[in-house]
Amino acid sequence: MVDKVLNCRFPRPTASCQLFCFPWAGGGSNFYANWGNMLPESLEVTGLTFPGREGRFKDPCCHSLEVMQKEIIAAILPKCRERPFAFWGHSLGALMCFDVAKTLKSEYNLEPERMFVSGVSAPHSAERKESKVYVKDLNDEEFKDFLKKLGGTPDEILRSEELMALFLPPLRADYELVDQYEYDLEGEAPLTCPIDITDGQYDIKHNLKAWQDLTTGKLTIKMLPGGHFYLKEKDNMMRILENISSYFFE
């Protein structure tokens, strides 16, 4: 199972730190796995593959946030015990990497060196709760309209019934995970690591400052041109990679 979950295209066993990248809803690991060839040799990049896509295309999609979290932790825990690590996550991936980070901290006394989050309000914020769209209540046409407004899904996929039949199950499953995600901050911040945020200037307004409630570490916010999937634009992606490099190797 670990081999299915972890996609490390450019292994660097002597790297001083590992970067685990969590996909957005409907996304895969290959986008992030390619970062491994664009970052310094002292950083090893691993993309996480959710079931129902890429190398796990035949695996049933996961509809349970708890099951997904347990699978991710089982896959990365041995590696997190070996070397320092950091997390990156966009949208659903940001929520998932925070969820995994706080569990690793509370149950195993392990914490990322840094956490990079993108494209979503802080999980406990009113803005995130108010903006939730419950996709389980949408029929397929309504769900396609939702995807069109969000962006990120190529038109050739949205126009093709055959392609949508392949892509709808993992997309719906992932958005069900978004629907299920609830977090209410009680007491002290669960993390101590720095949190670095990037977001698209033209995406819906997110409550990014509320991420500070979740850590005693430093919070940094950077805005880049583009909408929800600003990170897919080459210039933005290169700026993200430059930022990651500067944090670890300044």
Quote the domain boundaries for residue 223.
2-249
Nearest-5° Cα angle at 123, 118 to 127 = 90
> What is the pTM assigned to this prediction?
0.93
Residue 29 known to be catalytic: no
Q: Are strands 195-200 and 115-118 parallel, antiparallel or unpaired?
A: parallel
Going residue by residue through the chain (250 aa), what tens digit of pLDDT does each one get? 567 999 999 999 999 999 999 999 989 999 999 999 999 999 999 999 999 999 999 999 999 999 999 999 999 999 999 999 999 999 999 999 999 999 999 999 999 999 999 999 999 999 888 777 777 778 888 888 888 887 767 778 788 888 888 888 898 899 889 888 999 998 899 999 999 999 999 999 999 999 999 999 999 999 999 999 999 999 999 999 999 999 876 5
Q: Cα angle vertex 105, ends 103, 106, to 5°? A: 65
Q: Which of 29, 90, 91, 206 is catalytic?
A: 91
Residue 73, burial from CB neighbour count under 10 angstroms (0-12, 13-18, 19+): middle
- Please count the structural domains in the chain: 1
Q: Is 211 exposed, middle or buried (0-12, 13-18, 19+ CB in 10 A)?
A: buried
C-alpha atoms less than 13 angstroms from C-alpha of 14 in its C-beta half-sphere = 1
Q: Give the separation between CA 144 and CA 157, rounded to whole angstroms.
A: 10
> Annotated catalytic, 206?
no
Buried b / exposed e over 227-248, threshold 16 CB at 10 Å, is bbbbbbeeebbebbeeebeeeb
Task: Specify which residues 197 forms β-bridges with.
Answer: 117, 221
Q: Could you tell me the CATH number of the domain that includes residue 241?
A: 3.40.50.1820
